[in-house]
């Protein structure tokens, strides 16, 4: 599928971003059926057999080949991920239309995905990483910016989009604190093709996140977040009340080493301490994914209308 064919098939230019312990097949299917791009990270499956089952469930619901409804699989390509080659065999078997790489170079996946006509997006947090990912053959870049939930970037999204656009002609996706249709319109106006939205869909009915985590997203505001590398070794945005509940003071906690091979300890970290992005202030209820996408579409149309009227007033 080409990038323009992908975009032309969407109701809204949004990816329900992959979230550890939150995105499962129900969320992927609901998001893609609602006209955005659903996704999940492979570590959400404990075993390759479980991954095979999820991929079968998704491809049965969304189709395969050129007519498949767009959806995405997220792979951690960091050198400590010992499951990457087994995950890649599943990619070669099930042909996810889009593969998003994170925490490492997209190089190991590009040939496999391009061989069946899929699209590779690489998650990046700096212009240096963006250039490396483009050189490695990524078709698009996901510019994870300040305000993102989970592992966050530190760049402001608008200058990040501008800097990437300056030297990259592929798909540009941006994420970080965007949880409304107005935010999507703003990102698109600034030059993005797609918006990466995690926290908004964490608090959806189809998300497999713990109910306490979803409710804390609804109940919390922007000042309840703290960015710390102390929990996973990489800067991530956490709900402060969830850290306090397990007695963690991020300022007084030693930074742990990055290691994606110790699956169990990763699960403990993300299960006991809850991540969210700065868009949470606009999330007031745990709705279905279809309801969320309907509201985003209304807000997007209203924002475009408002921008058009402001331009004409001059």
Q: Which is nearer to ligand FMN, 59 or 207 (CB)?
A: 207
Q: Which is nearer to ligand FMN, 37 or 202 (CB)?
A: 202
Q: Is 257 exposed, middle or buried (0-12, 13-18, 19+ CB in 10 A)?
A: exposed
**Whole-angstrom distance between the N-terminal and C-terminal Cα of the chain?**
41
Q: Which is nearer to ligand FMN, 19 or 62 (CB)?
A: 19
Strand pairing class (225-228; 38-41): unpaired
Distant-in-sequence, close-in-space partners of 263: CB < 8 Å, separation ≥ 6? 43, 46
CB of 143 to ligand FMN, least distance (A): 10
Strand pairing class (236-239; 150-151): antiparallel
Of 137, 118, 12, nearest to 66 by C-alpha is: 118
Q: Which is nearer to ligand FMN, 64 or 281 (CB)?
A: 281
User: b/e per residue, 55-94, with b = 16+ CB within 10 A?
Assistant: beebbebbeeeeebbbbbbbbbbbeebebbeebbebbeeb
Q: Which is nearer to ligand FMN, 113 or 178 (CB)?
A: 178
CB of 308 to ligand FMN, least distance (A): 26
**Count H helices, E strands: the chain?**
13, 11
CB of 66 to ligand FMN, least distance (A): 26
Chain contacts with ligand FMN (rule: CB under 6 A): 17-20, 22, 41, 74, 102, 123, 144, 147-151, 175-178, 196-199, 202, 275-277, 279
CB of 77 to ligand FMN, least distance (A): 10
Residue 137 Ramachandran class (φ > 0 left, ψ -120 to 50 alpha, else beta): left
Distant-in-sequence, close-in-space partners of 232: CB < 8 Å, separation ≥ 6? 151, 256, 258, 266, 269, 270
Q: Which is nearer to ligand FMN, 27 or 309 (CB)?
A: 27
CB of 17 to ligand FMN, least distance (A): 3
Q: Which residue has the tokens 């995105």?
A: 23
CB of 311 to ligand FMN, least distance (A): 28
Q: Which is nearer to ligand FMN, 113 or 197 (CB)?
A: 197
Q: Which is nearer to ligand FMN, 106 or 277 (CB)?
A: 277
CB of 67 to ligand FMN, least distance (A): 27
CB of 165 to ligand FMN, least distance (A): 19
Which two tokens mark 47? Answer: 């075993």
* Residue 90, CB-side half-sphere exposure with 13 Å CA sphere: 24
């Amino acid at each position: 599928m080409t990038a323009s064919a992908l975009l032309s098939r969407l109701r809204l230019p949004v990816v329900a971003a992959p979230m550890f312990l939150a995105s499962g097949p129900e969320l992927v299917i609901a998001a893609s059926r609602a006209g955005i791009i659903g996704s999940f990270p492979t570590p959400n499956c404990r075993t390759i057999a479980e991954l095979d089952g999820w991929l079968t469930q998704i491809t049965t619901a969304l189709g395969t080949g050129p007519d498949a409804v767009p959806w995405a699989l997220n792979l951690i390509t960091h050198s400590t991920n010992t499951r990457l080659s087994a995950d890649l065999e599943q990619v070669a078997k099930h042909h996810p239309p889009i593969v998003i790489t994170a925490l490492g170079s997209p190089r190991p996946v590009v040939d496999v995905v391009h061989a069946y006509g899929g699209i590779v997006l690489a998650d990046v947090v700096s212009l240096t990483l963006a250039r490396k990912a483009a050189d490695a053959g990524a078709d698009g870049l996901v510019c994870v910016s300040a305000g993102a939930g989970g592992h966050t970037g530190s760049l402001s999204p608008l200058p990040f989009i501008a800097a990437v656009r300056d030297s990259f002609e592929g798909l540009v996706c941006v994420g970080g604190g965007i949880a409304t249709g107005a935010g999507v319109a703003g990102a698109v106006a600034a030059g993005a093709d797609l918006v990466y939205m995690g926290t908004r869909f964490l608090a959806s009915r189809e998300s497999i996140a713990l109910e306490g985590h979803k409710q804390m997203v609804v109940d919390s505001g922007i000042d309840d977040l703290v960015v710390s590398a102390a929990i996973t070794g990489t800067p991530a945005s956490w709900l402060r009340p969830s850290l306090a509940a397990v007695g963690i003071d991020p300022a007084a906690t030693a930074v742990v080493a990055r290691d994606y091979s110790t699956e169990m300890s990763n699960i403990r970290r993300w299960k006991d301490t809850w991540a969210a992005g700065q868009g949470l202030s606009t999330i007031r209820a745990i709705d279905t994914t279809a309801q969320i996408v309907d509201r985003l579409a209304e807000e997007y149309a209203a924002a475009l209308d408002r921008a058009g009227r402001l331009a004409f007033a001059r």
